[in-house]
Structure 1
Amino acid sequence: MNIPYSPYSETLQLAARSAIERAEAIVELVRTAGFQSIENLSAQFGVTPQTIRRDVNSLCDRGLLRRRHGGVDVPNNGENLAYTMRQVLHIDAKRSIARRVAHEVPENASLFFGIGTTPEQCALALAEHSQLRVMTNNINVAVALSSNPHCEITLAGGRIRNLDQDVVGSEAHSFFGRFSADIGIYGVAGVAEDGTLLDFSSDEVHMRTELTNHCRQRFLVLDHSKFGRSATVRGGHITDASVVFTNKPIAQELENQLHEAGVRLIICSDPLLPRNFRRSG
Structure 2
Amino acid sequence: MINQPRLDEIKRVLSSDKRVRVTELAQRFVVSEETIRRDLKYLEEQGLLRRVHGGAILPVPNEEQPLQIRSRIKPRAKVRIGQLGSELVEEGMALFLDTGTSTLALAHQLTRFSRLKIFTNSLDIGTLMTQQSDCAVTMVPGRVRRNDNALIGPHALAFAQQFHYDIAFMGIGAVDLEHGFMDYEEPEALLRRVLTRHSRQSVILADEGKFGLRTFVNTLPFRAVDTLVTNAPPPASFIASLENAHVNILHPGTAADDARRLSGL
| Same-fold call, TM cutoff 0.5 | yes
TM-score range, shorter chain: 0.7 to 0.9
2:150 equivalent among 162, 166, 169? 166
User: In structure 2, what is the equivalent of residue 266 of structure 1?
Assistant: 250
Aligned to 1:197: 181
Pick the aligned partner of 2:110 from 123, 126, 140: 126
- In percent, how many aligned pairs have the same letter? 24
2:195 to 196, 206, 211: 211
Residue 100 of structure 1 is matched in structure 2 by 84
The 3-state SS of whatever aligns with 1:75 is: coil
In structure 2, the residue matched to 1:250 is: 234
Post-superposition shift, 1:75?
2.1
Deviates more, 1:187-196 or 1:49-58: 49-58
Conservation of the 8 A alpha-carbon contact between 1:64 and 1:85? no
TM-score where L is the length of structure 2 = 0.78
Hey, what's the Cα distance between the residues in 2 that align with 1:206 and 1:265?
Answer: 23
Contact 2:44 2:72 in 1 (8 A): no
- Check the 8 A contact 1:77/1:230 in 2, yes or no: no
Which runs of 5 or more structure 2 residues have no equivalent in the other structure?
19-27
Matches within 5 A, 1:1-281: 15=1, 35=15, 49=29, 54=37, 65=49, 74-148=58-132, 150-270=134-254, 272-273=256-257, 276-277=260-261
1:113 counterpart letter in structure 2: L
CA distance in 2, matches of 1:96, 1:61: 19
Moved more, 117-126 or 141-150: 141-150
Instruction: Output the TM-score relative to the length of structure 1.
Output: 0.74
**CA 1:256–1:165 in 2, change beyond 3 Å: closer, same or farther?**
same
Matching residue's letter, 1:128: R
- Alpha-carbon distance in structure 2 between the residues aligned to 1:265 and 1:103: 13
Counterpart CA distance in 2 for 1:276 and 1:87 is 28
Q: Aligned partners of 1:58 and 1:106: how far apart in 2?
A: 37
Q: How many residues align?
A: 242
Distance between the aligned counterparts of 1:137 and 1:259, measured in 2? 30
CA distance in 2, matches of 1:153, 1:61: 33
Instruction: State whether residues 222 and 245 of structure 2, in contact with CA within 8 Å, keep that contact through their aligned partners in structure 1.
Output: no
What is the letter of the counterpart of residue 215 of structure 1?
A: S
